[in-house]
Amino acid sequence: METKISVSIICLNEADIIGECLQQASRVADEIVIVDSGSTDKTLEIAQSHGAKIFHQDWLGYGKQKNFALKQCSNEWVLSLDADEVLTDDLIEEIKGLNYGSDVVGYRVARKLFVGDRFICWGGYYPDYQLRLFRNSLGGFNELAVHESVQLPAKAKVNDLKKPLDHFSYDSLEQMDAAFKKFAKLSTKKRNRFLNPLRAVFNFFYTFFYKYLFRLGFLHGLMGLRLAWIHSKYSFLKYIYRI
């Protein structure tokens, strides 16, 4: 019996990027579930053109919003994607060839991060494995405000897929920097940290040297330096921002 897959995506004003995501996702999906939190651009028109089932939900936070989307999926196997993630042709063929009758209940997928049109492979940004394909009845997202992840039972068997997806998250380093500042504030809220200047300074320098030197970020030249700086600021601000 052929296994049916639901693709689950949350979105808000993603008209510039969601089309390619949906085009590729439709090649493995028996249904595409879109949960929109109030788009005012052509996101919903594009989703409709790909036959997606569209639901509206006011923003709940990343984890809760994605869990709401999972509840709208009618199939046992779910592939959860972000609107800026695009399945590669090789990954699509790998997903189609999986044995869903095995004891594996989830699959992690490597992500290739692009800033603009440049693939960021050094500095610890690749392979960035994320659990994306899993049994809906067993999995769900933790309800963190940011950096949410799928949680499965402790002894659940999870495998890594060999082929990656493309992650077109930022058009520029400036856009990435602005996003990381936002994430730092949300991260503070989720952990309820007190002001801790010494740990903040330690994290800044540790992250910078880890990204730039130990994870070979310098191989990206000036971009690698700026990426390490952005990520180090993020590590610093998580401990500085007050609730």
CATH number at residue 56: 3.90.550.10
Sign of CA dihedral 236, 11, 18, 4: positive
134 and 74: one domain? yes
Distance CA 50, CA 40 (A): 18
93 and 183: one domain? no
- Summary mean pLDDT of the chain: 93
Exposed e or buried b per residue across 160-194, where buried means at least 16 C-beta atoms within 10 angstroms of its C-beta: ebeebbbbbbbeebeebbeebeebbebbbebeebe
CA neighbor of 59 nearest in space, from 84, 83, 38: 38
Give pLDDT < 50 ranges for the chain. 190-193, 243
Q: Which neighbouring-strand residues pair with 87? A: 165
Unique residue bearing structure tokens 């897929």:
161
In sequence order, the 6+-apart residues with CB closer than 8 A to the CB of 202 are: none
Go through the chain and tell me how many residues it has: 243
End position of a domain, from candidates 125, 144, 170:
170
40 and 155: one domain? yes
End position of a domain, from candidates 170, 194, 209:
170
pLDDT at 198: 82
By three-state DSSP, how is residue 228 classified?
helix
108 and 160: one domain? yes
Distance CA 103, CA 135 (A): 11
Whole domain around residue 38: which residue ranges? 5-170
| Cis before 164 (ω within 30) | no
Structure tokens, 198: 């010494």
Backbone phi, psi, residue 89, to 5°: -60, -40
144 and 179: one domain? no
In sequence order, the 6+-apart residues with CB closer than 8 A to the CB of 154 are: none
Distance CA 68, CA 59 (A): 10
Q: How far is CA 130 from CA 48, 160, 215, in A?
A: 27, 9, 19
122 and 224: one domain? no
226 and 140: one domain? no
Number of domains in the chain: 2
What are the start-end ranges of the H helices in 50-196?
62-71, 89-96, 173-191
End position of a domain, from candidates 141, 170, 199:
170
195 and 233: one domain? yes
105 and 203: one domain? no
197 and 135: one domain? no
10 and 95: one domain? yes
Distance CA 104, CA 44 (A): 34
165 and 206: one domain? no
Sign of CA dihedral 140, 35, 18, 76: positive
